[in-house]
Structure 1
Amino acid sequence: MQQRRYSRQREQIYEAVCATNAHPTAEMVYDRLKPEMPRLSLGTVYRNLRQMAAEGRLVELEGTVARFDANISPHTHFRCQRCGAVSDLALPYDGGLDALAAGDGRLVRGHSLCFYGICPACAAEQT
């Protein structure tokens, strides 16, 4: 893989993702950085986040809107179906699932597990 040259803008985008546990969208990162980087475009943020995910520096969580995670170790997520928030769950990664899925000649390199439901904040609003 080709080494990308250093870019302060790129590092600030990466640092913005690292600074939160909110699993931000590209738009959230853009809104956070725009005041200090007035020439920043949303397209630049998207492009850099996707490049960093392809390089393995970030994890891209797919969904209606892509979200990004700086924690690249295998772990489980929860996505609220009401507000869209994504959070980490303190559940151990089950490598046994990889072994089970590896039947019929498949080479399994890992898995992603995400639970869906209503987060505590949204559940409290419903009561």
Structure 2
Amino acid sequence: MLGAFGDPLVTGKPCLDDLRDGKNTVLVALAMQRAGPAQQSILRGLIGNRALGEDGAARVRRILDATGARTTVEHLIRERHEQARQALARAPFPPAVTAALLEIARAATVRAS
């Protein structure tokens, strides 16, 4: 998500690199699966294109939104975070360990874009 929608000033990560590198992410896979032929053609032409600029990235982002891929991935992230919280609530770890693991789960899933 951050590789496509993140704000580099907040995340410290360029938001075009994942798209330029053509990373096979759940986000992209869902979009390709759900996209119509014209959208798939656009995604294939832009994702993995080392010359991708902000205009092309904006087109990709619109397709990621239009296909529901972004919403689905956000839901998956929230769902997995809750599963981790529930598992930690049942785990026989000392409280300090549980707290540290909960913080790691939070930091990995509740990040600013």
Provide the TM-score with structure 2 as the length reference. Answer: 0.29
Q: Greater share of helix residues, 1 or 2?
A: 2
Select the structure with the greater relative contact order (CA < 8 A; seq sep ≥ 6): 2
